[in-house]
Amino acid sequence: MKELIFNTTFIFQILVFIISSYYMFISFFGLKLKKEDEREVEPQKSFALVVAAHNEEMVIAQIVESLKNLDYPKELYDIFVIADNCTDNTAKIAREHGAQVFERFDTTKRGKGYALEWMFNNIFNMDKKYDAIVVFDADNLASRNFLKEMNKKLVEGYKVVQGYIDSKNPDDSWITHSYSIAFWSANRLFQAARWKLGLSNQIGGTGFCVETDLLKRFGWGATCLTEDLEFTCKLVLNGYKVGWAHNAVVYDEKPLTLKQSWNQRKRWMQGFADVATRYFSKLIKKAIKDRDFVAFDCALYTIQPFIILALGMSLVLTYLQTHSERGLNIFILQYLFTPLLWKLFSVFQFMFTPVVMTLERKLSKTMLVFFGLYSLNVFLMDRVVTKGDNIVKISLLNLAYLTIVSVAILSVEGIKGFKVYVWYLLYGFYTLTWIPITVQGIIDKNKKEWSHTKHTRQISISEIEGIDGQTAA
């Protein structure tokens, strides 16, 4: 029995290690961005800009004004707002600010996916034709160069392009900061890395552009809780890749509270689990039949909920084995490397994200140094902690070191730097919450109810650009 347990956990942990190593290997290619052709491309493509809105009277004016002020010929784009099942003044405010508003009322087909499908059909039937359609959420703001960058990518030959999703409120709470860190990391380590390797990027739900003829040919048909992932899978199955525009930035409002964040991420995991059950096998078959690595990579992405669960189980197994006096005869990954290598890997894991944040100009170099100093605690504790020390003494020593670094940051970087430091430490807890959220998402994958996140941050694009400039200082 002991041998069976050991062999089973060995196979499981090695598979987890291989998948994790694959993602880590791919992410390295995002550290240095792919060099782009910097030549100016004349505006050629025409765009229908579609804003999906449900009871968004607090923020709809800002997105419309942001789009009206894009640095692109005004005759080459129009702004459309879908007032979807709205019971407030969203439609009225959008019209007052110059958008063309289409009001939709359908209590049976609720959600963004259905609203987009309905709007796309309206655009197809218009007398005026557009080369491409761009999708935004009502809480977004777009960088002034957004359409210039999309135009460039379409001229290069891409049919679908995803823009860089940034945060417009990273400093509102530890939750918004955690969200922001996750998106900054994904933009660089997931999206930019795949773009550099020639793989398909993933549509992120907002700030993406799709050629009208392609959309008309395949149809949207993506009406689940993660319509962006579903449409990406359809594209890859049909031999298309999603492009990446690193310099086309769309600013998104992140949830303020853990409860809001939990509900939103649960919806994402429900959609992921739903799409995985319908598309994973199709993508794997295509990958094998056509020797298509793009399809294989996309297939792995669809099963993220199950990968997160596997990582969670791996953590539990490691804890049980290392905290049991007699041991449970479980194979854990620590057996593969020496204690020194694991300490070095711990430092690497902790520092990898701050390095990416620095590359993305979201973290100062001074703060990066402080994060580096704090990460050395795994080596310093070895000097002061003895084998017989109890958990209370070890905890107090760690707290003392944390306090020393905190005081140093406060004296050099002030309260703003201290908040960034504390919030990054809390980012670890945010990451762990994905495990129970994923469990809920998988269980409820067949529930299609739409959980709407209320948006309240009335920020203009000029304020955002000012904030961005200060962040990199």
DSSP 54-96: SS-TTTHHHHHHHHHT-SS-GGGEEEEEEEES--SSHHHHHHH
Question: Edge to edge, what strands does the sheet with 47-53 contain?
Answer: 100-104, 77-84, 47-53, 132-137, 208-211, 160-167, 242-252, 141-142
Averaged over 213-228, what is the pLDDT? 82
Q: Which of 63-77, 291-305, 393-407 has the lowest mean pLDDT?
A: 393-407
- The pLDDT score that the predictor gives to residue 469 is 45
Q: Which of 290-304, 366-380, 385-399 has the lowest mean pLDDT?
A: 385-399
- The pLDDT score that the predictor gives to residue 470 is 41
Write down the mean pLDDT value for the chain.
89
- Burial zone of 48 (CB within 10 Å; 0-12 exposed, 13-18 middle, 19+ buried): buried
40 or 443: which carries more pLDDT confidence? 443
Angle between helical axes of 304-322 and 434-443 (0-180°, round to 10)? 130
Q: With bands split at pLDDT 50, 70 and 90, how would you rate the model's confidence at 456? A: low
- The pLDDT score that the predictor gives to residue 107 is 83
Averaged over 116-135, what is the pLDDT? 95
Q: Can you tell me the distance from the alpha carbon of 382 to that of 247, in angstroms, rounded to the nearest whole number?
A: 44
Tell me the Cα Rg of the chain: 24
* Pair of tokens at residue 184: 């900054």
For residues 240 and 185, is the Cβ–Cβ distance under 8 A? no
Question: What is the CATH topology of the domain spanning 46-257?
Answer: Spore Coat Polysaccharide Biosynthesis Protein SpsA; Chain A (3.90.550)
For residues 131 and 211, is the Cβ–Cβ distance under 8 A? yes
Backbone phi, then psi, for 248, in 5-degree steps?
Answer: -95, 100
Q: With bands split at pLDDT 50, 70 and 90, how would you rate the model's confidence at 472? A: very low
